[in-house]
Structure 1
């Protein structure tokens, strides 16, 4: 079940990747004319065009998610699954099961992949009857949880932020995000912030996004500095290469996994502190008259583009707030690392993360060599049964877990290695994972 949910979370990233493009278009449009969609006066033609161009994606996100999930859950990512996905969200399951179906000669035209959409439609009828009774219960639970958070105000935002970080190791934080950012429970914080739907309240809308900016733009980079400065002298160079790139990624794009996975399993106590600090950030920011939003994540790019969004409130105040929070992160992380001797990058007791034996790093952009080292660390292509990737991780299935050498894999300069099961390995690469995955698949042929 966990493997299935993680794969589902990865599949959701395919349509989510469309959001940055839509956000950039709408952000520039609102930057040119903040009142473009207000109906007041004559809107700028250029801003209207840009906002509508972004809206063309946003307004059809339901279809994009149906297609993305279907392709992502299909065994071979075949486009036929996308057609089945339009019929039902369980299209990928039907595709995997019936893509090789052989029918009698009289019906041969509908054999194989052509049968998938037909079977999906039939299965959908049965699923709909079942969900008619089950889904109201599930939906009511989501709504009740969302409403309880709304009722708690800033404290509720803090609770959400805390659990948002705690669920990242399992890849299930996307499910929680959907409750608050989208329209699952009527909150729809993301779309209301950008003015694409009605119901926004100035000073309130955006409270489930704003608190992430101080953490991702300032807090985590400051934490990276603390980890670098507390690294052992002989390992600072290697720690610097990992931490600097991850901190830069967090600041500009809001993608935090490369940095978080650098200490999540090495120092779980420190990661718990990070989750608490994130919760506090969302609570404090929700109390203040400061609102910023994003389409992708709470990095500098999204912050800049959201400054003139309809529900943006004192976005420049995010800078002094972030600087203060960065100082808090630095002090707390440095104290905790030294006090409790957390094994952050560069502070390990052994040489497992010592990458001196290899000069290869992600910064070299030699993705073929990186993929080669990872494959060697997995025991060769004969030991690999499945290759997949999400936005930052290489997700692999193997035959024999005893042949896996984490030390060898980490010598490629990756952020970390996760072993969720005996036959599962996840390699934390970062935003460049697609290039590594492409080369890895070539090597496995």
Structure 2
């Protein structure tokens, strides 16, 4: 994995501990609403809420250690989180001032002040990363029989505690230097005052496409470089009394986001809607309204930002510049409000009675001004430079789809746990099942005897195909719910075989849907990756080659970026990032599967660039690959691009042959 990909992985993991901040914000916000004058000193109920929120804020370091370890673990297992907790306890105890004085045999008053700050978020992140790497490498290790109890996941916390002894020894020498550097960086930014706040906000937005904004936020929002803006703001009265916060200053790295999230981006959404083609406006209106409401009410801006981030990058740079200006203005004028989750209406209301909130109401007229600025600038740029924002790039007239995800297995009304037990029965019961895994649309099962699999029962349960790879390996095509069913199968307990086990049936000849000559084209797909076209029959995977997963073609990639082959919604990205499912505006379900058996790589070599639920356009980057690593480690990098619900349409018209270019070369048309 590249350095950028690894940093993106850390950035995503940081969202786990950050997700605890809304709880702190709500608890402390309610407390300050109850007792805005005494800050809990005059009302027991207010003190109850404020102290509850403080319990979270005061322990952010250990929350980061636990959350990052969990978020970066290969299978999101609790043992990784436990290892992070153990590692944090060992490291911070050994590097506490008392322990340093005892180990180094120096007077307590000569211990560097840096060790008094060892329990901060930076150390938590460091411990979390180390614990996650130890878990990913050693969670499957089997010890000799006499020590077998400590094998696998149980081994990781033990290893982590020993590794932290070494880390603590190193930290005793380098932590004072690192801490001084971080504090120096924070002081440099703080000396820049409002300009520094604006510069931070500009890069905060600019780094969102690569997922590194969370790492940047940890410097300014938490106690990494001595700024600690969010916890100090949420701390309110306690922060003021402890000398950690200054009224009119603390919160300046947050306040200017409110005008952008609540007003600026909705103004951009209005401009995008009005610039859409007339036949597309109905579709674009729903997307933009949903995104604008999310931004205004909760401060969640990704649905709007990703709608133009890649198709009109100039607009996104403008957005980053305007965000920096807004934060600079709010910081300069000392219009301060803070948040525990994001800069939406909910957080503004909750923070309004915080003793550190000053003239917060002025952020509303500032936001109205930015609404106009965003609307005018975006509309001018879109029209003047003919930018392909949503609704301008592809006509969607006559689209009658309701936008709901389609469940290929037909099991939307069934209980997943019950369905999982029935699939276990269909493969010969728990006694025949030896391993459970899932790819994006199929269950990948290891069995003792594949002839015991009841194919007819599996298809009655909603499976579209059963592939017997050999005597001990079976794949069942169930659609996008494969991962949910697989997880439920792992916890289903003992299940007997179905009453009538069917012997292995001879594989039926694959029937390729024939396109009706005069049928309308409902989707035109472009190649998702640059490379060489390969016929689906030549894909070295029975499920794809037999068209059990769907009809289409494959591409052997020569470039690293994977784009969306059509406009639509990303309804699924597999947790190992090797494949994704796209639902087009006309209901076609496209599976883009990079490589063969790449799920076994555990996510190595793949980085996602968008999240599930994102609305994308043709040519928008979705994944990035480390091709050097994948070509060396994957069974094959031939990558199928198939329509999994092809039976709902009349067929395909293949257009591509030879070399294709991602986002440009037509791949095939889907006929209605």
Shorter-chain TM-score tier: 0.7 to 0.9
Which of structures 1 and 2 has the larger relative contact order (alpha carbons within 8 angstroms, sep 6+)? Answer: 1
Query: Quick check: 1:99 aligned with 2:99?
Result: no
Query: Counterpart in 2 of 1:77?
Result: 76
Q: Structure 2 residue aligned with 1:152, among 192, 216, 223? A: 192
Q: Distance in 2 between matches of 1:412 and 1:154?
A: 49
Query: Counterpart in 2 of 1:428?
Result: 611
- Higher Rg of the two aligned structures: 2
Query: Quick check: 1:61 aligned with 2:60?
Result: yes
RMSD: 3.5
Contact kept? 2:306, 2:614, Cα under 8 Å: no
Q: Distance in 2 between matches of 1:92 and 1:203?
A: 39
Q: Output the TM-score relative to the length of structure 2.
A: 0.56
Q: Distance in 2 between matches of 1:172 and 1:283?
A: 21
Contact kept? 2:15, 2:214, Cα under 8 Å: no
Q: Structure 1 residue aligned with 2:149, among 109, 115, 123? A: 109
Spell out, residue by residue over 1:347-368, the C-alpha distance to the aligned partner (whole angstroms, 9 max, x if none): 11x45xx49667142xx5x574
Q: Greater share of helix residues, 1 or 2?
A: 1
Query: How far has the Cα of 1:284 moved from its partner?
Result: 0.9
Query: Counterpart in 1 of 2:328?
Result: 283
Query: Counterpart in 2 of 1:8?
Result: 10
Query: How far has the Cα of 1:225 moved from its partner?
Result: 0.4
Q: Distance in 2 between matches of 1:32 and 1:329?
A: 37
Spell out, residue by residue over 1:41-100, the C-alpha distance to the aligned partner (whole angstroms, 9 max, x if none): x52111111111212222222222221111111111111111111122221211121112
Q: Greater share of strand residues, 1 or 2?
A: 2
Query: How far has the Cα of 1:338 moved from its partner?
Result: 1.2
| Alpha-carbon spacing, 1:308–1:381, altered in 2? closer, same or farther (3 Å) | farther
Q: Output the TM-score relative to the length of structure 1.
A: 0.82
Query: Counterpart in 1 of 2:98?
Result: none
Q: How does 1:328-367 map to 2 (within 5 A)?
A: 328-348=373-393, 350=394, 354=396, 359-361=401-403, 364=404, 366=405
Contact kept? 1:396, 1:426, Cα under 8 Å: no
Query: Counterpart in 2 of 1:163?
Result: 203
Q: Distance in 2 between matches of 1:65 and 1:100?
A: 25
Q: How does 1:414-425 map to 2 (within 5 A)?
A: 423-425=606-608
Query: How far has the Cα of 1:396 moved from its partner?
Result: 4.9
SS at match of 1:293: coil
Query: Counterpart in 2 of 1:206?
Result: 251
Contact kept? 2:232, 2:250, Cα under 8 Å: yes
Residue ranges of structure 1 left out of the alignment (5+ in a row) = 384-391, 433-442
Aligned residue pairs total: 409
Query: Counterpart in 1 of 2:166?
Result: 126
Query: How far has the Cα of 1:405 moved from its partner?
Result: 7.7
Query: Counterpart in 2 of 1:306?
Result: 351
Query: Counterpart in 1 of 2:34?
Result: 32
| Alpha-carbon spacing, 1:102–1:150, altered in 2? closer, same or farther (3 Å) | same
Q: Distance in 1 between matches of 2:197 and 2:316?
A: 19
| Alpha-carbon spacing, 1:367–1:200, altered in 2? closer, same or farther (3 Å) | farther
Query: How far has the Cα of 1:428 moved from its partner?
Result: 3.3
Query: Counterpart in 2 of 1:437?
Result: none
Query: How far has the Cα of 1:260 moved from its partner?
Result: 0.3
Query: How far has the Cα of 1:398 moved from its partner?
Result: 5.5
Query: Counterpart in 2 of 1:51?
Result: 50
